[in-house]
Structure 1
Amino acid sequence: MWLWKKSWLAPTLVIIGMLIVWESATMILAMPTWLLPAPTIIAREIITSWSAFQQHFWATTSLAVIGFIVGVSIGLLLALVLHLCPRIRQSIYPILIMSQNIPIIVLAPLLVIWFGFGLFPKIIVITLVCFFPIVIATLAGLGQTNDDLLHYLRMSGASKKQIFLKLELPHSVPSILSGLKISATYSVMGAVISEWLGANRGIGLYMTLAQSSFRTDRVFVAIFFIMLVCMCFFGTILFLEHRVLKGFQKRGRS
């Protein structure tokens, strides 16, 4: 517990210092609120607008969770297929790389044209930004298996299934968890982008309306909650990573 508090002390002090400088700069330079609101104004807007904002918050959070689950499931399945079938990997892997060169903000309007303004195109957008990190991380983890242990299991007559379940998959867990942390934060970004294109609620819609009415304080409110959701997602995966790796360590000792 003491180490956890110590690890968060430095970034907390830095954030507090940045907020003090920000607040002081807006007062000294007499910044208009529509150009750059002070942190105290943003904090006051968070409190006063929460009753109306919470529906947007929960809409984006639930959308990000659904998209994250779908994207990670597809990414893990695809990574396993590519690892177990080298010929398929040689054919599809270059296409995966090229798919990441297409900007989501450009592809998203096409998805709306093809599938409408419902939930399905939003899930596709989030899946596209989530599945690639988990695919790459999983493939990297599966490819980092210890050669000596792999040779030993093969010499012992272990089947491909046994090698995968007993050696390759456990060794890839840290890499998979790293990919999950990246995908978790990307899912929130994908949810907000999908809401820019058309939604009746969500942080992306709230941000768009705030920008059009020059309510910069509300834009910062949206940014604050986007960061909050990302931190919660990242913290959840970090907690699971700690528990899972701790479980593997106990198994290794026993």
Structure 2
Amino acid sequence: MTPVQKRPQVSRQIISLIKSHILVVLILVLWQLCVSLEVIPDYLLPSPLQIVEAFIEDFPLLMEHAKYTLATAFIGTAIGLIISFVLSILMDLSKTMKELIYPVILLNQTIPTIAIAPLLIIWLGYGITPKVVLVVLAVFFPITIALVDGYQSVSREHLNLFKSMKASRYQLYRHLKIPSAMGSFFTGLKVALSYALISAVIAEWLGGYHGLGVYMTRVRKSYDLDSMFAVIFLISFLTILLIGLVKWLERRVLRHNYL
């Protein structure tokens, strides 16, 4: 593509970026004006500028706590991925296994995270273990269901073709079902990653020594709303960043879908 051809494409991307964020910018401007004009007192709702100042001031401490929260989220997601692949294949291989497993994972999804977290703290202590377990419980459901739906979306013609070629079950999953399920998998992974960070923070609220949830508890007790909002925005930013990373990986793995 020549430089002349690239310019319109870059311009369209910039316009699209502005359109997608203009509402957020307007909300922030309105928020700043309401606090600056004392429509809302800043001791109840700090302004965006105050939040930015608090973020800059506490940046080293926030990064230190974020390190532990991200580690918990990544470890829990990795374990959840392994469990999801195993369960999804078992459910796809056997209708009986699906009837046995599906109600259990559905029941797990109906239990509020805030309700199970204290029990995990009591059973497993204040270390990283209960937090990782909570993340695993939160992430494996959307990934498992996405994979099962992806396996079942394979056309009957493709299945019959592989069977006619005497493909083994391993070859069937390796070359047909798992590649076909990748689109659904990445959709489930994006949902799971948003759950992962939230679950890690909730577990840290209830007990621990490090992490953004612990930091939030400390600043809440001191009524430091500037720092409280700073960590909330940091968690939102990290979640968006992780989802963006998954989207980038999805484009790399499924590049034929974006041609």
**Same fold? TM cut 0.5:** yes
- CA deviations over 1:139-180 (Å, ceiling 9, x no partner): 000010012222233334333333222221111110011111
**Is the Cα contact below 8 Å between 1:79 and 1:136 reproduced in 2?**
yes
Which of 202, 215, 220 is the aligned partner of 2:224? Answer: 215
Q: Give 1:141's match in structure 2, choosing from 123, 146, 150.
A: 150
Alignment match of 2:31 (pick from 22, 38, 44): 22
| Deviation for aligned residue 1:30 | 4.2
Shift of 1:189: 0.5
SS at match of 1:45: helix
140-149 or 71-80, which deviates more: 71-80
Q: CA deviation at 1:209?
A: 1.5
Letter in 2 for 1:211: R
1:159 maps to 168
Could you tell me whether the CA contact under 8 Å between 1:33 and 1:217 is conserved in 2? no
Tell whether 2:37 aligns with 1:58: no
Mapping of 1:188-199 within 5 angstroms?
188-199=197-208
| Alpha-carbon distance in structure 2 between the residues aligned to 1:6 and 1:83 | 44
The answer to whether structure 1 residue 150 and structure 2 residue 198 are counterparts is no
Give how far 1:248 is off: 7.5
Match of 2:254, SS state, is helix
Deviating beyond 4 angstroms after TM superposition, the runs of 4 or more aligned structure 1 residues are: 247-250
- For this pair of structures, how many residues does the alignment match? 250
**Inter-partner Cα distance in structure 1 for 2:175 and 2:135:** 32
Gaps of 5+ in 1: none
Residue in 2 that maps onto 1:11: 20
Question: Structure 2 regions of 5+ residues with no counterpart?
Answer: 1-8
Deviations 1:101-130 (Å, cap 9, x if unpaired)? 111111111111111111111110111111
Write the distance in 1 (CA, Å) between the matches of 2:120 and 2:184. 31
Question: What amino acid does structure 2 have at the position aligned with 1:81?
Answer: L
The match for 2:80 is 71
Alignment of 1:1-254 (within 5 A): 2=10, 3-246=12-255
Q: C-alpha deviations, 1:186-216, integer Å up to 9, x for none? A: 1100110110111112111111122222111
The amino acid of 1:19's aligned partner reads: L
Identical-pair percentage: 32
- Please state how far the C-alpha of 1:68 moved relative to its aligned partner: 1.5
Deviations 1:211-243, CA, capped at 9 Å, x for gaps: 222111111101111011101111111110000
Report if aligned partners of 2:251, 2:258 keep a CA contact under 8 Å in 1.
Answer: no
Name the Cα RMSD after superposition.
Answer: 1.8
Q: What is the one-letter code of the residue matched to 2:95?
A: P
Mean CA deviation greater in 203-212 or 36-45: 203-212
